[in-house]
Each structure stands twice: as C-alpha cells, then as structure tokens.
Copies of this chain bind each other. A is one copy, B any other.
Amino acid sequence: MGVILSGGAQRRSRRTSGASAVEGQLREEDVVAAIASIAGDRLQRRIVLGIGDDAALWQPSRSHRSAITTDMLVEGVHFTRETMTLEDAGWRAMTANASDLAAMGARPLLATVALGVPAEYALEEVRELYGGLAAAAASVGMSIVGGDLSRAPVLTIAITAVGEVRPSNLKTRAGARPGAVVAVTGDLGAARAGLDVATNRVALHSEHSAIALRAFRHPEARVAEGRFFAASANVQAMMDVSDGLSTDLHRLSIASACGAIVETVPVSAAAREAAMQTGEDPERYALAGGEDFELLVAIGPRAFAHLSRRFAARFNRPLHRVGVLRAGAGIQFRGEPLTPTGWDHFLTSS
C-alpha cells in the first residue's frame, strides 16, 4: 500500500505535469479520500492501524490461527455491468471472500481491496463499488484496512480477507471418511437463475424473480453456519459451493480421498421455474450453476440426524442431505458417473 490505496511500484506510464487533474480523469487523492471516508469508521477494536500507511496492523488472537484467502473478480469474466450494479459487484466480491473464510469455520476479521479502475470511470462509480464492498464487509464484521488502486483496462477487484479460527474448530476439505453424510446449507441454483433473469433469458414469477436476483446480486456468506459446524467434532470436512455442487463435491472427495454418491440435488424453486423456461435440466442449475455460497459439509453418519435438527432450529431452514461419501473415487449420480461441470474460467469463450 503506497498511501492508502496508492498503488505499488513501477508506474511505467508517463505522468502529466504537476498534481492537477486531467480533465475528466479520476484523481488518485480524490478516490483515496472517498474510499477512506467509507472504510474508515468501521475499524474493529483489534485493528491497530488502518488505511494510510505502508501496511495495516492488527493484534491477532493468541488462541486462534489466522486464515487468509484471496479472490480476483474481473469485469467481463466474473460480472458485467449489464447484469448488476457496481454496488452489487462490490458486495459479491467481498462476500466470495467471506464465504471462503466461513468454509474454514473462521470468523472474518479484516480485508484489503486492490482495485483496477478504467480511466473512464467517474469518482461516483468508484464510490458506489466501494459502498458495496464496505457493506458486505460490515455485514460479517470485517474491517477494510487498506488496499491499492490502479488504472486497468476493465474493472478488476482483488480482495484478500483474513479471519481467525480456533485450532480445534478448523475444518478443511480433507478429513472426511466413507459413510459420511454430505449436506448443503441451502438449496442451489438460484444464483444461476438470477443471471437468467438479469439477462432477460427468463421472466419468473415475482417472488422467484426476487429470490433469484438476490442470490445472484446480493448473496450472503454463511459465516454463522460455518462457525456452527466448526464447533462440532462430527463435521469431518467443509467447503463452500462457489463453483457448482458437482465441481465442489469432486474437490471435497479428492481432498478426502473418497468417492461420493449423490442421492438428491436440492434445486431452488426459482431455478426450477427458470429451467422450465430455458428447457434445461433443473438439476444442472444446482450442479453446474455455481456461486450459491452455501456450505458443503461431510458429517459423521450417526450425528447427522441430530446435527441437522440443531441446524434447523438455529437457522430456521433445513440442512439438505445430498448423498454420502464412499470408499473409492469418483461421484455417482443415479448410477452414472458425475463429472465436474462447474465453471472453469480458463475454458470460456469471450
């Protein structure tokens, strides 16, 4: 961090003379001031030094381990301005990071934000984006402590989030054993249906439309759910479903050296309605849709009934049983092998 968000080293482009703004161009100091005013008042007690120096500082918990995760979102790859506002894009980007921390059982603590902003952007647009970032951070108790700011050909958002977890509560993708019940914290596919709504590919019943758009533009990280599972010794493995159930279940299975049998795919009602209109298989919305940010957990079989009752009582919604882990490798679904079919953005056209 140069100033706050001042950008690192090696600016190779030619500078215009003096410190005055080029007509119609963003001035770094204005952007920084705008961002600092949004981020500044939300610092947690343990943040010793926030925005404004070479680095930010915090006092780590003595009894916890620290967790770190990073995600980069690129306009045209991960989002387009046609399908969501900049505030939504900021919210989603921060939520994706919080979700990764939730998946470890960690409590989110702080985040840094590196923004690449096209030259034609107005200060108001950066402020809008940052409003979404700050709101999502605050919603899970995270402080934005610093970042970087650069010009870039398309809007680029790179977030790093830090959280903390007790060593005894840590959950990873590994450690699940054959026989474990696989479950997710919510039904899946609504975010994908929301993309269909946002691109006018489908027109849903108003309640489904609102649910789908919210899942797509304003998802919630399952932080409380993650900490609930983290506290249970019967939860053998955990991760978030960010790339579609089939891809992410493959990852959990591989990390745990198991196979899996999928019995039921919990498809959101909004995704079912969207699938009816697009003619696609509704289960594909859940298996390959991605970005639902629910948690995928592997639970010891004898503990499942009790834990799912406790989950329902605590969170007012069901824990969805998806299937079971088995010895061996690969995922079976209705007697057929299920391949990973989530998003791989290195295999995309345009």
- A-to-B contact residues, CB < 8 Å: 1-3, 6-16, 18-19, 21-22, 25-29, 31, 48-49, 52-62, 65-74, 76-80, 83, 92-93, 95-97, 99-101, 103-104, 106, 110, 112-116, 145-154, 156, 158, 160, 162-163, 165, 167, 170, 172-174, 191, 195, 219, 239-240, 242-243, 251, 255, 288, 290-291, 293, 339-341, 343-350
Q: Given contacts A104-B54, A173-B54, A243-B6, is CB(A344)–CB(B72) below 8 Å?
A: no
| Cβ-closest chain B residue relative to A348 | B13
- Cβ–Cβ < 8 Å partners of A52 in chain B: 173, 255
Which of chain B's residues have a CB closer than 8 A to the CB of A61?
60
- Chain B residue at minimum C-beta to C-beta distance from A119: B346
| A62 CB → nearest B CB, Å | 5
CA A159 to CA B340, docked complex, whole Å: 29
Check A48 against B74 for contact (C-beta < 8 Å): no
In chain B, what residue has the closest Cβ to A100? B54
Question: A160: which B residues are within 8 A, CB to CB?
Answer: 68, 70, 112, 114, 160
- Please report the C-alpha to C-alpha distance between residue A77 and residue B13 in the assembled complex, in whole angstroms: 6
Kindly list chain B residues whose C-beta atoms are within 8 Å of the C-beta of A347.
Answer: 15-16, 19, 21-22, 25, 27-28
CB < 8 Å neighbour of A19 from B112, B219, B243, B341: B341
Residue of chain B at shortest CB distance from A106: B55
Which residues of B lie under 8 Å from residue A55 when comparing CB positions?
67-69, 100-101, 103-104, 106, 163
Please, how many angstroms separate the alpha-carbon atoms of A57 and B65 in the complex?
Answer: 7
- Given the interface pairs A2-B242, A49-B172, A70-B112, the reply to whether A10 lies near B152 with Cβ below 8 Å is no
- Whether the pair A77, B12 counts as a contact (CB closer than 8 A) is yes
* Residue with the greatest number of chain B CB neighbours at <10 A, chosen from A57, A60, A112: A57
| Contact between A343 and B53, CB atoms less than 8 A apart | no
CA distance A95 to B10 in the complex (A): 11
